[in-house]
Chains A and B, each alone.
Chain A
């Protein structure tokens, strides 16, 4: 009797173990929105990629390729045509049609009360129509080479299942009409999302039969949960804990490049700026940052290598320019000179500021990993070059308001890439033009018509090589004029059990099919 029960227990354990090998538990920073068109933030995109799909998709290096659309092409300068796969099956047995795509894009535009809509990805698109059962035609108001890029970020949902459903319905019904690699098994907001593999999925079936996302917004809790083996994988590992995790034998850290760059914006406004003062704290008559030598001095003073090594614990790559390898406009000939505080002093003296001047550095303290620490370190470095920096850190929402008011000397921002296009160029370097969607973060008021033209020309150039050439010119000019101070590119940090491999995603999405058991 006793042996029997031991045997039974052993069998049970074995069964549990095999089920365990088919299941992945993820400690996830983000709390999902199950409505794939609600709240455009990176973590939400990662969630809906598990249960829906998009016309195009990027690969592990960020290159865009076909997905729900088996092919796409330019018909003329203003028109893109997407041909859909015919094997994408929905829950009710019907297949994906051009009508579903048109319906989905319309839904993106009309979803009410959306604080961060996906419509930014439909920029310059004036019309989308079904021209056949599986052909969609998209018209833009100007030549737009980024349409395939942009549509990789927009979810396609089945019209029949989701027509008339509100964002709340998606949550209360725990997913509607899922047809991606997974279907929702259960969802409790703020706690966990459980997914079951979709055996009818059109693409390559993922390894894990069951995936559970446990929602853990607190960095330390995620790390603790992994160390306690409560979860198999965690995303957004805080850089300061990497060393500790690397020293733990049964934990592996997976890191890869991210397209998000941390950049310091400079203030170019005319006349007196409250944040730029003389030694006694009175605003200077003239904005010293308008002098190129001063900007070069500041750039020289900042030791990017020390920031990456000391503050980011190596979990970042020094930025040499506003683009990174693989992005449009990246120029491998551009380098970032080594920090040189004495050289900075000389330049400042040449520009007429031998005693330096007071400059405020405005940073967030809750948005990017180590943001406030990086800011302090920059302050330290400017002080060594003879400036009198004042470091002001505040929550992102407060900071943005202060930046809009233009009261800063330097201000920190994180800029990602839109597909392969460096966002910094259009958002910070280009002068403010709300209607055209330029200069949305150009709070320093930088205006350079030549650069504006350069950027505007580039984004409507359909020929890839020619576009890259124009972008390269813009990147180079930005560096020569020191319009911004690129600091570093973040790295995507993910950690897991040691017996898993994981390939990170440059857009910082956590995609569970990228996690696989390590082959022994």
Chain B
């Protein structure tokens, strides 16, 4: 029995390039811009992962900073004997190293909060759609309530209660963003719930959790993945905003937003580099993620396909 069910599979694979993954890849590389975005994003991720090896200085170790090397122009050689390619800030922090480490925080916070928000939001969204009725109403009114407040306002409130810190910023972002996933997951699941395969699964008396996670969830994934990519970018931007406003990460461990905020005060004095280069790094990262996200949306959305 089992062998006969599985036997046709290899044949199909041999015949065509049409496995879902290959189709997805060939659709994705249609846009050169998206490929470029993916390449840049890969580079940024590699830099972030290997920052401690690449950076000439550990900008988070206060003992490695020398205030006498503060505010040096890009390219100056400092007391450590190595050149500060992008200059230093007023604490004598090498901007290049600070940007590498800042990318780490930005990506960690962005990805971490997006994944957590994805898990929580998708679970609640699917639950709402599958059970309907009072459960649905309760969850969705909660979502509506939360979406009616601007994200930045909610995040500011949470952070002023919890205090600074990378984990607190992540928590605030999760609380702000889970609602988007819940909404998307519910919409997709409502469509899928009426389909025959769900009815079939229900007739087999499979446990609810199995139906939701093994049958419903995989079929709701495409729109969730698209929302997820976009939300990573917006989480990074939101973290930068919070840090810029002085509520995000601790001052001794600056993320990109805090670096920009630090340098902002020196703009009038002509020391542009403290703000400028972290700004460029943030811009490049967010644009790259958005390019990839846009193309994902086009590829994964059947309605956009003609």
Contact = CB atoms under 8 A, between A and B. Distances in A.
B partners with A: yes
Contacts of B246: 365-366, 393, 395
A311 interface: yes
13 contacts: A240-B265, A240-B269, A244-B269, A373-B90, A373-B91, A375-B251, A376-B62, A376-B251, A380-B62, A380-B67, A380-B91, A390-B252, A398-B160
Nearest to A227: B268
A391 B258 CA distance: 15
A394 B163 contact: yes
Given A392-B164, A392-B250, A238 B68 contact: no
A381 B164 CA distance: 23
Contacts of A238: 265
Interface size class of B (residues with CB under 8 A): 20 to 34
B90 A310 contact: yes
Contacts of A307: 67
A279 interface: no
A243 interface: yes
By DSSP majority rule, is chain B's interface helix, strand, loop, or mixed?
A: loop
Contact of B70 (A303, A310, A365, A398): A310
Nearest to A224: B268
Contact of B269 (A243, A381, A384, A398): A243
A220 interface: yes
Contact of B252 (A306, A311, A376): A376
**How many A residues are at the interface, by size bracket?**
35 or more
B9 to A, nearest CB: 55
A383 B63 CA distance: 5
A311 B67 contact: yes
Interface in A347-365: 365
A223 B91 contact: no
A143 interface: no
Interface in B14-38: none
A472 to B, nearest CB: 33
B116 to A, nearest CB: 25
Interface string B257-290: 0000000011011100000000000000000000
Contacts of B91: 373, 376-377, 380
Given A365-B246, A376-B91, A223 B268 contact: yes
A383 B61 contact: yes
Contacts of A61: none
Nearest to A372: B251
A379 interface: yes
A310 B252 contact: no
Contacts of B265: 219-220, 238, 240
A interface: dominant SS: helix
B163 A377 contact: no
B152 interface: no
Nearest to B70: A310
B65 interface: yes
B251 A393 contact: yes
Interface string A28-57: 000000000000000000000000000000
Contacts of A310: 67-68, 70-71, 90
Given A311-B67, A392-B250, A395-B246, A383 B268 contact: no
A395 B160 CA distance: 10
Contacts of A382: 62
A439 interface: no
Contacts of B266: 240
Contacts of A390: 252
B250 A391 contact: yes
Nearest to B246: A365
Interface in B54-79: 61-63, 65-68, 70-71
A145 interface: no
Nearest to A375: B251
Nearest to A303: B67
Nearest to A379: B62
A158 interface: no
B101 to A, nearest CB: 15
Contacts of B63: 380, 383-384
A409 interface: no
A399 to B, nearest CB: 11
A241 interface: yes
Interface string B214-255: 000000000000000000000000000000001000111000
A392 B63 CA distance: 17
A240 B90 CA distance: 10
B251 A391 contact: yes
Given A238-B265, A372-B251, A306 B62 contact: no
Nearest to B65: A380
Nearest to B89: A373
A238 B266 CA distance: 10
Interface in A387-418: 389-395, 398
Contact of B67 (A223, A306, A392): A306
Contacts of B252: 376, 379, 390-391
Contacts of A219: 265
A138 to B, nearest CB: 45
